[in-house]
A and B are shown apart, each in its own frame.
Chain A
């Protein structure tokens, strides 16, 4: 898979939170200025999309989460991870194949909030939930939460710290049963979350969304070459089915470079639609990667 790179439009000077009409304009401009259309299709502005006046209540949040997972993955920066704060506005279109196109604006917080400091970013995104494609197609731009130089410096500090970590093979269950993460292991959790973001981006649909519940084991932690080579297993919690999905993830990270991810998750036993009756299916592993 080729990584799509999209130039971020420069933040507007002055008011970081333009009023709604201005925001709509910004969204329009951002979308027009965005790079190549989602893989495999042209912009389907007029191919059977009709506006869904009452989108399913969760749809906007699902779209926001998918967009954020993609954003975090693309940023490849464990010190600048974001989580969803609030969806502010959104519109959805549906086509005959029951696929969704969602435009939305939402606010974000830092995944690792600093005491006393409120960092609230704003993002606008367009998300396509397609039936056959392996992952939702995303265009997203966000206001900057941290100075680029600060972020790069923090990533580099993390990298230096990680390079001298040893004996991680006995790490099991982060957080532990009581929700505790040893501060010395927090960077491992963050890197694991970054890798999981790629997986969660790929797996999020209009019906399914995920959280990283636990880092269950470290299979390998190599730092002898330049990059951090991290092989681990996580439990992903899928919300609508309440299932815990074990995934084996392998990431290669170097500050400033795009994250490389390979993964293999146990498939969900139930089909995607809101569960009614389902057949018990064999567990089929899916192996996907970007390197």
Chain B
């Protein structure tokens, strides 16, 4: 009992937030060097417990300082006596914080159903994982959540399975977010999940697909990277694995597959964005999919989604030689991009990876194709460089909608061409 009390006190101290009641933030203007010096003197008065948000630098640059309530009187007297002009930027820091908390809570309050979930904004990992649980709970006959592994940093790796029955039916695999900074892809993945649940039983063409095949959808293929894009670096691409012998972190998960691994088209430099890793499948995020695909044994179409560039690509990336099914894949790609363009006129180019984008070795769909999954495609979604990875949230839904039409084309073709 006493242990519990001590624990709760300690927790209180650790989690306890400071109180800012009555604190003010002042903006001081120092007109010349002499005045800057005066503010520096103020800075030295430790007993005032001043917190400079923007410290004294040069004349003309604003100086912002948070002043605890007990020191306000003294600081104002100091400034006024020396003729230092100031304004009160924040009257009461605590009430501002209280307002902010309220706002944050209001806008990020958890969606209680996938019908109130906001598809037109970017979400955190936690929000996407909550969404998956909501969807599975709302459609227990259709949707189940599988864990195929754990990330390097220990986050669960989830795949949504959409199935209307059968036993290990031929399946379609879709993944988004393998490169974490490509945010429109995870956001589209969330939209696809909802679309699938919605359209089954409503849209005849799609119902036919799901009556005969299963769909596996991995929305956050690189959860560690994704969390990092939210917390520290929006432009993070790779995994977050540590590489012994280097201070650089992360492996490019789209260079880590066992297809032409190590050949030209990837880097051996751990600091590079296209670092291939020490060996194929070194990344658990990649290995988890490899294991799943091999174990399942009946995947007939594999679609890996990236951004940006507006391209639909088929193998190979690591070699110039055309895949045996080149003509068919090219035809399917052509129909798919036509379907995509039919919605908003968005133009996609298509072709093999190596001739359309660049040489890339150890790539996902080269491996899946070599495994015998004929309909292996990679998408590069919007845009073509205006916003790049920072695609405005207003474009999420249009992007997902048009891409869905291309996916349908591929899925239908797969259904009608069993092999």
Contact = CB atoms under 8 A, between A and B. Distances in A.
B234 A177 contact: yes
Contacts of A270: 267, 269, 272
Contacts of A176: 390
B389 interface: yes
B385 A83 contact: yes
A241 B62 CA distance: 41
B385 A241 contact: no
Contacts of A138: none
Nearest to B389: A213
Interface residues of B, number: 39
A179 to B, nearest CB: 4
B330 interface: no
A269 B388 contact: no
Nearest to A283: B271
B268 A177 contact: no
A211 B387 CA distance: 9
A152 to B, nearest CB: 25
B359 interface: yes
Contact of B264 (A173, A237, A242, A274): A274
Given A240-B358, A241-B272, A241-B273, A213 B237 contact: no
Interface residues of A, number: 34
Interface in B249-293: 252, 263-269, 271-274
A275 interface: yes
Given A57-B355, A58-B358, A274-B264, A213 B388 contact: yes
A196 to B, nearest CB: 12
Contacts of A180: 392-393
Contact of A274 (B268, B358, B384): B358
B235 A244 contact: yes
B198 interface: no
B122 interface: yes
B8 interface: no
Given A57-B355, A83-B385, A214 B390 contact: yes
Given A58-B358, A276-B264, A175 B122 contact: no
B391 interface: yes
A239 B264 CA distance: 16
A280 interface: yes
A58 B237 CA distance: 23
Given A179-B391, A243-B273, A274 B359 contact: yes
Interface string A252-285: 0000000000000000011000111111100000
Interface of A: 57-58, 83-84, 111, 167, 169, 173, 175-180, 211, 213-214, 235, 237, 239-244, 269-270, 274-280
Given A180-B392, A274-B265, A275-B272, 17 more contacts: A57-B351, A173-B234, A178-B121, A178-B390, A180-B393, A211-B385, A213-B235, A213-B390, A214-B234, A235-B235, A241-B274, A270-B272, A274-B359, A276-B263, A278-B268, A278-B272, A280-B271
Q: Which 6 A-B pairs have the closest CB atoms?
A: A179-B392, A276-B264, A242-B273, A211-B385, A179-B390, A175-B390
